[in-house]
């Protein structure tokens, strides 16, 4: 679980450090993965609203200046998918990718639909750009109609006949790790109506009950504004 780096006194510091922002869905994916694997880590806040991602010290950890970034001893990894696949190798407990190649590929496809076709097109800098150039209404339309609806409808089609409690079956896997923060953000910030996506919604309700997912929520992070 996360320890706010300010609160560690005396004891040996956790080996893993996660540079994260409370609201970043990419950071949330890694927080979920760390929790599922039972890995302690030090939470290093990068305040995106204060432009801390542009600090030269942070840039050394991730030259694209995005969160999250993971430091594991002398290994530094940026990008949530790369981090999670690194964790999969290094800490194989609670594997997030199944051995079955078909199911593994499905999980990777879901993760990449989220990671390449949804999140990047609604990141902070794009939203700021659209809101500045047009207005808040256009920003919402951008996210709802052009990004989320297209991707969520596709995911619903891809997954509707896949049985199971969670996204791709009865185990919590990579697809769940990527979808959870995306759906949370969709509902909380962009008024996405999940009743249009029943297969996604059902899985979401199930994994959201798990402690690993709850502890990773934005509002539970040390840098959540009180």
Q: Measured between alpha carbons, how far is 17 from 21 in angstroms, rounded to an integer? A: 13
Residue 136 as a binder of another protein (CB under 8 A): the answer is: no
Per rule CB under 8 A, is residue 119 in the interface with another protein?
yes
Work out whether strand 69-72 and strand 16-20 pair parallel, antiparallel, or are unpaired: antiparallel
* Residue 95 is a binding residue for another protein (CB under 8 A): no
The smaller minimum CB distance to another protein, of residues 98 and 164, is found at 98
DSSP at 108: H
Q: Is 89 in the site for another protein (CB under 8 A)?
A: yes
| Residue 30 contacts another protein per CB under 8 A | no
CA distances for 51 relative to 55, 119, 226, angstroms = 8, 19, 19
Angle between helical axes of 149-159 and 198-207 (0-180°, round to 10):
80
Q: Map the footprint of another protein across residues 59-88, applying CB under 8 A.
A: 59, 63-66, 74-75, 77-83, 85-86
Distance of CA 109 to the CA centre of its chain: 15
190 binds another protein (CB under 8 A): no
> Which is closer to another protein, CB of 2 or CB of 81?
81
Distances (CA, A) of 169 to 11, 37, 43, 130: 40, 19, 31, 38
CB of 205 to another protein, least distance (A): 22
Applying CB under 8 A, does 38 fall inside the site for another protein? Answer: no
Sole window of 33-41, 48-56, 150-158, 218-226 interacting with another protein (rule: CB under 8 A): 150-158
């Amino acid at each position: 679980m996360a320890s706010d780096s300010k609160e560690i006194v005396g004891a040996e510091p956790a080996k893993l450090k996660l540079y994260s922002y409370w609201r970043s869905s990419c950071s949330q994916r890694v927080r979920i993965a760390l929790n599922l694997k039972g890995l302690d880590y030090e939470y290093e806040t990068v305040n995106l609203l204060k432009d801390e991602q542009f600090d030269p010290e942070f840039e050394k950890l991730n030259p694209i200046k995005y969160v999250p970034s993971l430091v594991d001893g002398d290994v530094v990894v940026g990008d949530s998918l790369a981090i999670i696949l690194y964790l999969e190798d290094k800490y194989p407990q609670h594997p997030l990718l199944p051995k079955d190649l078909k199911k593994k590929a499905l999980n990777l496809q879901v993760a990449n639909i989220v990671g390449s076709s949804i999140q990047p097109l609604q990141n902070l800098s794009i939203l700021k750009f659209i809101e500045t150039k047009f207005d808040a209404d256009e920003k919402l339309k951008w996210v709802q109609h052009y990004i989320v609806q297209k991707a969520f409808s596709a995911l619903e089609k891809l997954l509707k006949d896949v049985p199971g409690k969670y996204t791709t079956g009865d185990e919590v896997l990579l697809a769940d790790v990527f979808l959870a923060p995306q759906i949370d953000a969709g509902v909380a910030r962009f008024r996405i109506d999940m009743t249009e996506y029943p297969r996604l919604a059902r899985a979401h309700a199930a994994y959201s009950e798990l402690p690993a997912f709850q502890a990773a929520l934005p509002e539970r992070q040390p840098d959540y504004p009180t």
